[in-house]
Structure 1
Amino acid sequence: MSLQWVTSQLEELELMLAVFPAHGEMEVDLEWQQLARSYLDGKASPPPTLQYRIRPPLDQLQLELTVQLPLQYPTQPPEVFARANQLDRSQQKILNDELAEYVSSIERGQTCIYTVVSWLQDNVHKYINPIEPVTTPVPAPPDKTYSRFWIYSHHIYSKTKRKDMLSLADEYRVTGFMLSGKPGIVCVEGDKDDCEHWWADVKAMNWKKIVVKKAEDFPIGSEFVRKFSNFEEITFHGSSRGSDHHMDMGEFYKYLNDHDCSYVFVDYFGMSGRPAS
């Protein structure tokens, strides 16, 4: 890890802490600063990936920016995701799509989080539409359709993303699991609309690769039985290569088998699995 990368990240973090000093405006593990300084002094190994949240003050609006910096930042773009209490799901998606475009337009090599926060403060109100009063009768909701999404990611390491995925599962009332490590495997199940909204929010985060490998839909009138009672994070670490933790395939297959869904193993890996001995 380059000394210059760590220096730039440390200097920017200290700037952001100075800009947002009030309680609750920044959420960060301050131990990272100590690890970074020790590394720059030649007394420690490189610090881990830096991630934090910023809640800049805005009138009548609660805005939160989640930041994760790749090890090569600022020569690589940051991963950022914004939320605001007055945005609905579609407005939030549009905001994050355009935020990603803005970040990609910034010249690499210079720190940019303060610039990103400023852009949000200047632009977030544009995505809030006034709510029109309902003047027509609201039709009765249709019968529910249920779904189960099987999702594959190149890896799931980020503490911030894992925390957000768990929080979104509670918000949208979906059940399933998230297998962190490399690769990352996720299952969400429940009402089809809830699954789709959860997936839209998660997909909007910055990923190296994340796709739905298999989608199971249960039409109106068919029997739908949840395989999972809640949404949980699981880990089955096998071999390690550097900072990559690869899953234990046998343990993962056993977990699927215990939840009556081992059939999906072949969809992920192209082969039948077997339990760990």
Structure 2
Amino acid sequence: MTESNKQLQYEELSLLISMFNDNEFKWVGNQDQLEHWKSALDKFMSIHDVSGLDVSPFRFRILLDMGENWFNVFLPCRYPEIRPECYFSSDTVTKLTWTEINQEIENKLNERCDGGWCRFSILFRTFGVTLNHHHIKSFLQQRDIAETSIPELPQIDEKKECSFKICRILIWTHHLLSFEKRKCICRWANELGIWGFSKPGYPGIIIVEGLYDNVQDYISRLKSLRWQAITILSEESEVIYNLPLHDHDKFIKIRLGRIKPGVSEFECMSEISSKMKEAGLEEMFLSAMKINKKSDKSLT
């Protein structure tokens, strides 16, 4: 393993571990391997130097939120120069489903690694595995719905006309320290007429809500900035019928009585959690941040 590959692997794993709790992210190996992996990563996260950190190739698995269904990952020594090995395992699905899901994983890996995984940006490498995890989770949910319910034709009310669409998103970043980025977050929200909250530091959190097209524009602008890692953890939308467009701000839940659009900055998670609860969006926040309600009071 080259020093460059090793550095990228440790950076990626440290970020992945921060995205999943202990019940969702599991190392796969013997006790010595587990201890070496954990010790090496602890050292890396404290000194950000891979010199002398020689361990066997990493193996881990991520729990899909549907019983004992796992997404398994093996990172070869030369990763990310070469593709990772990924496969689905389960004790609850049929052999046909198991085969289809693993074929889907193979197809996605081939698509994303075509031409060399090493040519992807560090952002894509960081979340390539996570994106695959969410894709297969969605695939499982769709199969479960298809196998347990009878599809119905959509009911169309011809009297209703779509007036506008509201969208709200929660964005996670590895960190948010740059004053220039923080100014952009606030300035662009004002320009696009959207409301929201943000929290600088480690990690950075940005939550905004507004007209769908404006929110999508906002996302594009944010992603055009340089980030170590950025991803959308949650996105919700709703269509409002038979109302004039200028009334859309009445349906912005996180507006909370504010007159002018914009992003309010808070110093800690607990403040944002409190605002989301006040807006009736507590479940969205807790689910996206993988926080149990019992531990919500201890957020910092």
Instruction: Tell me the TM-score range normalised by the shorter chain.
Output: 0.3 to 0.5
Specify which structure has the higher proportion of helix: 2
> What is the TM-score with the length of structure 2 in the denominator?
0.38
User: Normalization by structure 1: what TM-score?
Assistant: 0.41
